Amino acid sequence: MSTMISDLPVAVIGESDGRWRTTTLCLAVDFGSRDDPPGRGGVAHLLEHLLMSAPVDGGHSLSERVERLGGQANATTGLDRMFFQAQVLGDHVPEVARLLTRAVLDPRLDHAVVETERQAVLQELAAAAADPSDTVQDAYLAACFPGHPLGRPVGGSDEAVRALELTDVLGVHREVFLGRRMALVCTGGTAPGKVAEHLAGTAVTRVPASAPSAPPAPPAPPAPSAPSAPSAATEPVADLAALPWAPQGAGADPDGFSWLATGSRAPSTGDPRRHAFTVLAHLLGPSPASLLYRRLRGQEGLVYAFYTWSRSYTETGAWRIMAGVENRNLRRAQEVVREVLLEVAGRGPDPEDLAVARRQAVTDLVTTAERPWDHAMTLSQETGLGTRSWSLEDGIRALERVTVEEVRLAAVAVTERQLTVVRPEPA
């Protein structure tokens, strides 16, 4: 499934399918907004913009050069991962593989490109701040991980981004980013071994992942404890009693509209319990076949759109339901969510409902794998950037093995530490 070349600046892994004429290259880095230094919130996000927009070898930026070849390019900053992606026809893979690694590992940044991309980031932040469906997610993570880097907004604040200097960005890139584990993930028509051959002999180098000069990542809060496996390692780092679940919305304009997010911490990427949290998300997901859909929308008509998902990070995760609700229905909608969660926590899901949720989880995983762009990110996450073996079949089997009791315990963990935020905040 994977190929790793030791004399390259990054590991090369992935899967190929000769039926595809395009290849997706995804340079994944064990680095994200949680690595922003104190007082420099948003520097990781700004760095992502700069690496895609700075001139490469005195020519156009990586993004423009990929697009001029007819391909597509994009980059994403998450809490603990960063992805730089390009999808091109097979003939352009050798050129783009070299451009991608050079742009990310050996950038040529200056004040002009910093100012241009700073303005782009500020516009992005302004758009997000005006959208309650965005602000509610930032508020939820801040409540879920209080006082911890995982609870900070990925993009930083307007004030922090305006204060960033070129030296801040260069320092983080050189002293932290280049020291982190990386993998170039290939999906589509070109085999990873071929991509490795294209990179062999390039002049691009970087600090090895074990470099002592790279400061360690800040500690993450541990995953939530489960009744079946209590241990000191799963105790919370903060007293979440200060953030109890309670219906919100009193005093809100009844003619208004709000977004709520409710849930709890979830297991990490290395915790086998995470699969039960994924199935629980489908059990209570937006499908007409889900328990929550039948109650929240079908029986009581309280919402039009809601979303449920579980996201795992390096040492912890977050499980949540996000719903857009008319304020007159806000309190009752939260009560219904709580009631359904407690029912699952009390007796577990009906076996037929569980079978439906497992099938949905498997289908979601398979359809993601059939989109090379998304599958590249999945491979980087599931293989730990090439440090462990994983295949789509492994993922399918793990979801199909989830039991009634495991889902019940996942619901117990959510209800025991459930917290809720609403945006705009009710009066």
* Tens digit of each residue's pLDDT (9 = 90 or more) over 56-82: 988 999 999 999 999 999 999 999 999
The model scores a pTM over 0.95: no
CATH numbers and ranges of domains, the chain: 11-199 (3.30.830.10), 232-423 (3.30.830.10)
Look at residue 41 in the predicted model and tell me its pLDDT.
93
Q: What is the 3-state secondary structure (H, E, C) of the chain?
A: CCCCCCCCCCEEEEEECCCCCEEEEEEEECCCHHHCCCCCCCHHHHHHHHHHHCECCCCCEHHHHHHHCCCEEEEEECCCCEEEEEEEEHHHHHHHHHHHHHHHHCCCCCHHHHHHHHHHHHHHHHHHHCCHHHHHHHHHHHHHCCCCHHHCCCCCCHHHHHHCCHHHHHHHHHHCHHHCCEEEEEEECCCHHHHHHHHCCCCCCCCCCCCCCCCCCCCCCCCCCCCCCCCHHHCCCCCHHHCCCCCCCCCCCCCCEEEEEEEEEECCCCCCCHHHHHHHHHHCCCCCCCHHHHHHHHHCCCEEEEEEEEEECCCCEEEEEEEEEEHHHHHHHHHHHHHHHHHHHHHCCCHHHHHHHHHHHHHHHHHHHCCHHHHHHHHHHHCCCCCCCCCHHHHHHHHHCCCHHHHHHHHHHHHHCCEEEEECCCC
The C-alpha atoms of residue 336 and residue 339 are separated, in whole angstroms, by 5
Look at residue 427 in the predicted model and tell me its pLDDT.
67
Range 162-180 burial, b when 16+ CB lie within 10 A, else e: eebeeebbeebbeebbbbb
Angle at 146 between CA 141 and CA 150, to 5 degrees: 50
Look at residue 113 in the predicted model and tell me its pLDDT.
95
Number of neighbours of residue 22 by Cβ within 10 angstroms = 19
Look at residue 239 in the predicted model and tell me its pLDDT.
33
Look at residue 202 in the predicted model and tell me its pLDDT.
72
The C-alpha atoms of residue 213 and residue 78 are separated, in whole angstroms, by 23
Look at residue 282 in the predicted model and tell me its pLDDT.
98
Low-confidence ranges of the chain (pLDDT < 70): 1-8, 203-246, 249-252, 427
pLDDT in tens, 166-198: 999 999 999 999 999 999 999 999 999 999 998
Look at residue 213 in the predicted model and tell me its pLDDT.
38
Q: First CA to last CA across the chain, in angstroms?
A: 54
- 215 burial type by CB count under 10 A (0-12 exposed, 13-18 middle, 19+ buried): exposed
Look at residue 250 in the predicted model and tell me its pLDDT.
54
CB 265 within 8 A of CB 224: yes
The C-alpha atoms of residue 240 and residue 425 are separated, in whole angstroms, by 20
- 122 burial type by CB count under 10 A (0-12 exposed, 13-18 middle, 19+ buried): middle
Residue 264's alpha-carbon distances to 318, 321, 345, 381, in angstroms, are: 6, 10, 14, 21
